[in-house]
Structures are given as C-alpha cells and as structure tokens.
C-alpha cells in the first residue's frame, strides 16, 4: 500500500512563483517563462529551473510551446497567498491608516509571515470584505474567487456613466494621482470625449471635468452597475 504523500510547507519563493503565475494566467491561459521572469525580476534560466521543480511537485503543468499553467493544487496555493495579500492590504487601510498606494510592499512582506488563523481574524474584524482597497476580489477561505466582468475605461462609449470597479495601476505615484482625482473603486464617472489615436479621455467625476491620458485610463476597470 502506498504511503500518503506529506508535502512540506511551501517556501516564500514558491509561493511568489505560484501567485505570479496565477496573475499572469487570466482565464487559465498559460504563462510564459519570460513573462514570469519579468514579473519576478529573475533570470530566464532561474525561472526555467524553478518551473521544472514545481512541475515535478505537481503544482504546475507544462503546455508545449506555450508556457505553464497551475494545477488544481497549485491554484489553491496561489489563491491562499492572494487572499492573505488582499486581506492584509484591506486591514492596513481600514484599521491602521495606510493609504492604497503604500500597502502593497507591506503586504508582500507580511503575507509569508502571518498564520492562516491571523488572516481569518483580520478578515472577520473587517466583516469579511469582498474586495481589497484597489477593488480586486478577495478569495474566500475555501479558495473561491469572484470572476469580475469589467471594461477598461478607454472602451467606455461617450456619454456612458459607469462605476470604477478596479484600479490596476501598481505604481504608488499613479495611485496617489488617481486618488487625488477621486478615481477610486465605487466612484461613478461619465465619459465626455475620446480623443482619436489613443489620445486623452475627458471625464465628468461628480461635478468636475477631468482629462486623463489613455495609458493611465487603461488601468481603470469599470462596470455598468446601476446606482443603489
């Protein structure tokens, strides 16, 4: 009879790989080793070696000529880390006075150190929020995550009013700028004008008119949710 396989706790490095691959694999599409290397700021040979080891551990599957994708076990581990990160970010903003542009690095450091029990206490203290300060969905403790349907701001038609659902700009300076304009999750905006050839977009935010560059507007994902 085969003995049960006892897996050692995952290292912080492995957890970072799994989280990165999940984020690089929308809708389960394979992630290339070059994209993983770029995301983690590592050399391609280092990534190739780790990918091989993770595949041998049953956490990844190699898709010939395309890249890698997470197995069910790898996906569960990735979502566990994403839950930790997003709960920590939310707690830092809601309880400790951090701003949304300062929480990412703190959460990166803390997510490997805290216990699952502490994460659940933090989530319960917050009322089990469904999204982090940037609007990203927080996976449940059972490993489920809401698949959000959203539209980048540049694809919103003129005269349409939408709600900012998520903001994917990772750069702190960009987040601070967007916050200064009021472009945070939950804000309703109306598109007034699109300049051609990926030019700037004119918006109405509350009673203000604001012009936003096309590149920055791409980081603002919107929904057509009706106001309550």
Read off the pLDDT of residues 30-39 as tens digits, 9 standing for 90 and up: 999 999 999 9
Return the minimum-mean-pLDDT range out of 8-17, 95-104, 173-182.
8-17
Mean pLDDT value of segment 73-81? 95
Q: How many whole angstroms from its chain centre is CA 217?
A: 17
Q: Evaluate if residue 168 carries a pLDDT over 80.
A: yes
Question: Are the C-beta atoms of 78 and 21 separated by less than 8 Å?
Answer: yes
Question: Same CATH fold, 151-223 and 12-70?
Answer: no
Q: Evaluate if residue 104 carries a pLDDT over 50.
A: yes
Mean pLDDT value of segment 147-158? 93
Structure tokens at 44: 């391609």
Residue 225's pLDDT is what?
Answer: 66
Residue 1's pLDDT is what?
Answer: 37
Q: How far apart are the first and last CA of the chain?
A: 59
Q: Evaluate if residue 4 carries a pLDDT over 70.
A: no
**pLDDT bucket at 3, cuts 50 / 70 / 90:** very low
Task: Parse the chain into domains and list their residue ranges.
Answer: 12-70, 151-223
**pLDDT bucket at 7, cuts 50 / 70 / 90:** low
CB atoms within 10 A of CB 97: 8
Q: Which residues contact 99 (CB under 8 A, 6 or more apart)?
A: 93, 176, 179
CATH superfamily of 151-223: Ferrous iron transport protein A (FeoA) (2.30.30.90)
Class (C level, CATH) for 12-70: mainly alpha
**pLDDT bucket at 5, cuts 50 / 70 / 90:** very low
Residue 186's pLDDT is what?
Answer: 95
Return the minimum-mean-pLDDT range out of 5-9, 49-53, 55-59, 175-179.
5-9
Residue 57's pLDDT is what?
Answer: 94
Q: Is 78 exposed, middle or buried (0-12, 13-18, 19+ CB in 10 A)?
A: buried
Structure tokens at 17: 């790989």
């Amino acid at each position: 009879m085969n003995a049960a396989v006892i897996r050692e706790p995952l290292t912080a490095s492995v957890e970072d790989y799994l989280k990165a691959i999940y984020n690089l694999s929308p809708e389960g599409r394979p992630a290339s080793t070059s994209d993983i290397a770029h995301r983690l700021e590592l050399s391609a040979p280092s990534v190739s070696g780790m990918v091989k080891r993770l595949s041998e551990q049953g956490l990844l599957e190699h898709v010939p000529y395309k890249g890698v994708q997470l197995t069910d076990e790898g996906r569960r581990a990735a979502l566990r880390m994403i839950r930790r990160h997003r709960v920590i970010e939310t707690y830092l903003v809601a309880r400790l006075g951090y701003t949304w542009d300062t929480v990412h690095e703190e959460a990166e450091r803390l997510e490997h150190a805290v216990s699952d029990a502490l994460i659940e206490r933090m989530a319960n203290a917050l009322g089990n929020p469904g999204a982090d300060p940037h609007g990203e969905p927080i996976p449940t403790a059972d490993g489920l995550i809401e698949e959000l349907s959203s539209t980048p701001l540049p694809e919103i038609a003129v005269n349409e009013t939408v709600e900012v659902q998520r903001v994917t700009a990772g750069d702190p300076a960009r987040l601070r700028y967007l916050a200064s304009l009021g472009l945070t999750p939950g804000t309703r905006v109306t598109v007034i004008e699109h300049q051609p050839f990926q030019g700037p977009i004119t918006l109405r935010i509350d009673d203000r008119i604001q012009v936003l560059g096309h590149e920055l507007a791409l980081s603002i994902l919107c929904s057509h949710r009706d106001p309550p």
